[in-house]
Structures are given as structure tokens and as C-alpha cells.
Amino acid sequence: MKATVANQVENSGNAAVAPSTIASVVANGNNVSTNTEEKGEKGTVVVINNDNLRKLYAENPVAKTFLDACKKKTFKEGVTTMDELQQALLNARIMPERSEIIATLKQLEALQCGKFIAGRRGRVSRFEWSVDCANLGRAATGENVKVEYVQKVKLVHAAKVTEGYIRHKYQVRPDFRLTVTLPEDLTVSEAKRIGVFLQTLPFGPETTPPQKLAA
């Protein structure tokens, strides 16, 4: 049944594919086998599993459109914006919901083809390719192409916080420092709510903090 849907997209001509049809394909796409890894001088070389890639291409019309565009070098190497992805779908006369586009990008991410980055603070949503985009499209369409990328070792500092958050430190007492992680786009209203919450924490009347006894 899934292959039939893909063939419908292939032979649709001027007919647009309904979002409900696309949603059923996206929802049922499962990847089973994994990629292979090889040790190299610059890091671990990850080789994309072509069987998984071709399965996604055959079953998911949104992915098929993206991968065809990759093969034709429609997208620039490195990063493809959501606007560029939607334009490729428009050219192919496919009309998925935005959630279905993101679901497909998450499937490509699961195959380690890249990473979907949701836009925030004025930045656009985008897909950052980890592999050669043109080779990925060629492999998806059945060509005997080895698609790989080098997974470099990254040294992460212990204090590093997930993207979109900031770690704040506040010296509450000479011997006590409070550390709290908050969104980088924290609003004034949210800050006030946190302040009100902190005021409810003490038990009993306002007092000076107890002094430590000398040993």
C-alpha cells in the first residue's frame, strides 16, 4: 500500500497530493537497520544505510521530493531553510501540513542525514545536512553511492547548557550560590512569576540566616 502511495506521487502529473495521504505515509515510516561506523584519523566515519534511505524514499512522498531536489542540486550544500523545502514541495505539487514536513525531517535526522533546527528568536527553521546532499539524493534513487560523514569528537564543558537556555548563578549567602537554568528568551512576566514563587518558599517570619558556629 505504501509503495502505491509513492507511485501516486511519481505519476501525479498536475494533480496535487492531499495532506491526509501524506500524513498516513509519514506516520507509518519506521527505520529498522542502523548505519555503520568506521574509525578514521579525523574521527568516526558514519556510513548511511542506503536500504533505510531508499525505504524512506519509496514510502514517503515528502522525503522523495526532498531527496529528488538533493539529487538535482536544488538545495545549497550545508543548510536548507524551511522556505526552500516548502518551495520544493510546491514545485512538486505536494501540499503537506507543516507538522508533516517536520516529521519527515525528523526521519532524515534519525537516519543521521542531518539535523532539524527549529527557528527561534527571529532565526528561520532549517535542516542542517551532515552529508553531501547530492550524493544522498543519488543513493536514495538507487545509485551505488556511499554516503558518509565524519563524526568528530567534541569536547563539551561540564557547564555547557542545551541550546536556547542560559545558566544563571546568584550568590544568596556568602557560603551559598544558587544556580538556575532558564530559557534565553525569558520574559519579564515569567521572571515575576518565578519571583512570586520564591517568596512562598520560606517557612515562618522573616529572619536573618543562621550563622555557622566556629569549629
Which of 128, 124, 104 has the alpha carbon at shortest distance from 116? 128
pLDDT averaged per 10 residues, the chain (length 215): 39 43 43 59 74 91 93 88 92 90 92 88 87 89 83 48 78 82 87 87 67 55
Strand partners, 182: 166
Residues contacting residue 85 through CB under 8 Å, at least 6 positions apart: 66, 101, 105, 127
pLDDT for position 31: 44
CA distance 97 to 103: 10
C-alpha cell at 154: 567534541
pLDDT for position 212: 55
pLDDT for position 11: 43
pLDDT for position 5: 37
C-alpha cell at 94: 505536494
pLDDT for position 153: 52
Cα-Cα-Cα-Cα dihedral of 189, 190, 193, 199, to 10°?
-120
pLDDT for position 107: 92
Evaluate whether 147 touches 50 at the Cβ level (below 8 Å): yes
Q: Tell me, what DSSP letter sits at residue 49?
A: -
CA distance 157 to 182: 18
Which of 104, 108, 105, 136 has the alpha carbon at shortest distance from 22? 104
- 70 membership: H or E segment, kind and range: helix 61-71
pLDDT for position 178: 84
